[in-house]
Amino acid sequence: MTTKAAELLAIDGGAPVRAALLPYGRQHIDDADIQAVVDVLKSDWLTTGPKVGEFEAAFAEYTGAAHAVVFSSGTAALHAAAAVAGLGPGDELITTPLTFVASANCARYVGAEPVFADIDDGTLNIDPARVRERLTARTRAIVAVDFAGQPADLDELRELAGGRGVTLIEDACHALGATYKKRRVGTVADMTVFSTHPVKHITTGEGGFVTTGSEALATALRRFRGHGITSDARARHEAGSWFYEMTSLGFNYRVTDLQCALGLSQLRHADTWLERRIAIAARYTKAFAGMPEIALQQVRADRQSGWHLYVIRIRASRLAEGHNRDTVFRALRAENIGVNVHYIPVTWHPYYRERGHGPGECPVADAAYAELLSLPMFPTMTDADVDDVIAAVRKVLVAYLPH
């Protein structure tokens, strides 16, 4: 890094790089989105109506999947995927420690246990070699998370799962629109899970999806979403029938027509928003590539990341004594840059410590966690916004260099 005189940081009383906070993620809602929701409010069906099937069909088309089943959240979608994969008490589900807790919790929802396989230090995705070590006769599923949007090593994981009756579930909550060896995410794993929470690629407020190529799994997922009942209210209405049967224990994980109309309207932007995320990531990478105080997530040439997050790793050993990710985080917040940390390893949470997990179990993820910082990343960020983030990161690191 070029050594210029350090500016006074906002945390030390200087002027912040930005006057108001730039958030790390933010949805974009336009007039067409609002009108789509209003139209549903004026219609006959607020839930279990026509927008649900329309949104599912559009999502299937976008991802290229044969079937797309919408849920009330990404977490509900993960629960459903674990359930229809047949997991239950005594079974194990292998996942990464560097993820949102829901990727592991879905095992617990069905009485199974999550087993954590450490990550690859470069890509930050689950390491297939560590997965291999964790496979047992009880393993029934692998939940591979596409960290920050970069697809996991799906072929290697598929090979480990194949022939053992292990279901490959891809948690692609970061990866809508991403590709793996030219294939769209949503078509590669046995089941692929997405979220439409406001910080994700498109939003329905709360919502999620499972895509699958299997008609049997799609039917089971729909049934799980609706109480384990064999028909939905609208189908009965249209058939003029009152009869229904509950054949398995399901939930009410439905999503409303208001949300589906919003999602349909949002989906129009998915490609242009993804292109913008890719451009923002490229601008960050160009700025940070030559800075020894920062390490970047390794990107594999055979896949296109969805760039839900842009993470950097702060190399504390390059900074003055006492400085590290935590002090850089606080200084950037003071500059009004909405940085975040993804993630506290799942193994560290009190709930999982009580179940025998904890620091030291996955040392690569533990070390990454100490360094990781997520920078603002959302499609309506301007180049000037991106440049403010870059300027603030530079300003803080220059101030924290050893003297």
Ligand X SMILES: *Cc1c(COP(=O)(O)O)cnc(C)c1O
Tell the smallest beta-carbon distance from residue 89 to ligand X (Å): 23
Burial group, residue 32, by CB count within 10 angstroms (0-12, 13-18, 19+): exposed
- 173 or 262, CB closer to ligand X? 173
Closest CB 310 distance from ligand X, rounded Å: 14
CB atoms inside a 10 Å sphere around CB 81: 32
- Cβ closest to ligand X, residue 171 vs residue 335: 171
Secondary structure class of 158 (helix, strand, coil): helix
Secondary element (H or E) of residue 212: strand 208-212
Q: Which of 42, 200, 286, 395 is catalytic?
A: 200
CA 36 – CA 21 distance, rounded (Å): 30
| 141 close to 54: Cβ distance less than 8 angstroms | no
Pick from 312, 306, 287, 319: nearest CA to 401: 319
Q: Which is nearer to ligand X, 197 or 303 (CB)?
A: 197
Residues that bind ligand X (CB under 6 A): 73-75, 99-100, 102-103, 145, 171, 173-174, 195, 197, 208
| Token pair 């350090």: residue | 6
Locate all alpha helices (DSSP H) within 100-250, ordered by sequence.
102-109, 128-134, 154-161, 215-225, 233-239
For the beta sheet containing 294-296, the strands, ordered from the edge strand earlier in sequence to the opposite edge, are 294-296, 310-314, 372-375
Residues 6+ apart with CB under 8 A from 270: 62, 176, 177, 201, 202
Contact call for residues 339 and 373 (beta carbons, < 8 A)? yes
Q: Say how far apart CA 373 and CA 310 lie, in whole Å.
A: 8
Residue 26: CB minimum distance to ligand X, A:
15
Token pair 């790793």 is at which residue? 313
Using CB atoms within 10 Å of the CB of residue 103, give its burial: 0 to 12 exposed, 13 to 18 middle, 19+ buried.
buried
Mark whether 286 is an active-site residue.
no
Cβ closest to ligand X, residue 16 vs residue 186 = 186
Cβ closer to ligand X: 77 or 381? 77
Helices (H), 251-301: 257-267, 270-288
Between 194 and 400, CB nearer to ligand X? 194
**Nearest distance in Å: CB 54, ligand X:** 20
H/E segment holding residue 385 = helix 383-399
Q: What is the nearest approach in angstroms of ligand X to the Cβ of residue 268?
A: 21
Shortest spacing between CB 246 and ligand X, in angstroms:
25
Task: Using DSSP, state whether 94 is helix, strand or coil.
Answer: strand
Q: Which residue's Cβ has the minimum distance to ligand X?
A: 74
Question: Smallest distance from the beta carbon of 195 to ligand X, in angstroms?
Answer: 3
Q: Which is nearer to ligand X, 99 or 305 (CB)?
A: 99
What residues form DSSP beta bridges with 295? 313
- So which residues are the catalytic ones? 200
